[in-house]
C-alpha cells in the first residue's frame, strides 16, 4: 500500500477538528466551527490561511471569479468545513473540482453536524 500523502499534516488537522468537535459538539453554524478551527490550528502551530481566494482558469483564461476555500493548511491542503447531517455526494464533487482547478493534491471535508462523531473525508486529486 502506498504511503498517504501529507499523512502527518492531516493527522494534525484532524486532531484539531476532533478537539473542536469535542468541545462544541454539533448544532452551530459553519462560521462558528471555522473560527474555533482557526483558534485550534493556531494553538497547535499548524500554518493556515482563512478564506483563501484561489484562482480558476478556464481554457487558459484566468476567470475573475475565484473560489474561496474555508481554510488552506500548509499551503497545500484544502479544508472544507461543513455543519450538516452528513457529507454528501455534492460536497465530494465540489471538493474534487476545487482540487482539479487549483492543481492542489489533497482536500479534507470536515463535517461537525453529527452529534456523536466528527465526520471527515480525505480526497486526492
> Binning pLDDT at 50, 70 and 90, where does residue 103 land?
confident
Average pLDDT of 19-33?
96
Catalogue all structural domains in the chain, each as residue range(s) with its CATH number: 7-124 (3.90.320.10)
Find the mean pLDDT for residues 61-84. Answer: 95
pLDDT in tens, 28-65: 999 999 999 999 999 999 999 999 998 888 899 999 99
Residue with cell string 486526492: 124
User: Quick one: residue 115, left, alpha or beta (phi over 0 = left, psi -120 to 50 = alpha)?
Assistant: alpha
Q: 51: phi > 0 → left, psi -120 to 50 → alpha, else beta; which? A: left
Q: What is the pLDDT of residue 2?
A: 67
Amino acid at each position: 500500500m502506498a504511503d498517504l500523502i501529507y499523512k502527518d499534516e492531516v493527522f494534525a488537522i484532524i486532531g484539531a477538528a476532533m478537539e473542536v468537535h469535542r468541545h462544541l459538539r454539533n448544532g452551530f453554524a459553519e462560521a462558528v466551527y471555522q473560527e474555533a478551527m482557526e483558534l485550534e490550528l493556531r494553538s497547535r502551530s499548524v500554518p493556515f490561511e482563512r478564506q483563501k481566494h484561489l484562482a480558476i482558469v478556464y481554457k487558459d483564461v484566468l476567470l475573475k471569479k475565484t473560489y474561496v476555500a474555508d481554510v488552506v493548511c500548509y499551503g497545500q491542503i484544502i479544508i472544507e468545513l461543513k455543519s450538516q447531517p452528513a457529507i454528501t455526494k455534492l460536497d465530494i464533487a465540489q471538493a474534487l473540482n476545487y482540487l482539479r482547478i487549483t492543481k492542489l493534491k489533497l482536500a479534507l471535508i470536515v463535517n461537525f453536524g453529527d452529534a456523536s462523531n466528527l465526520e471527515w473525508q480525505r480526497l486526492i486529486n
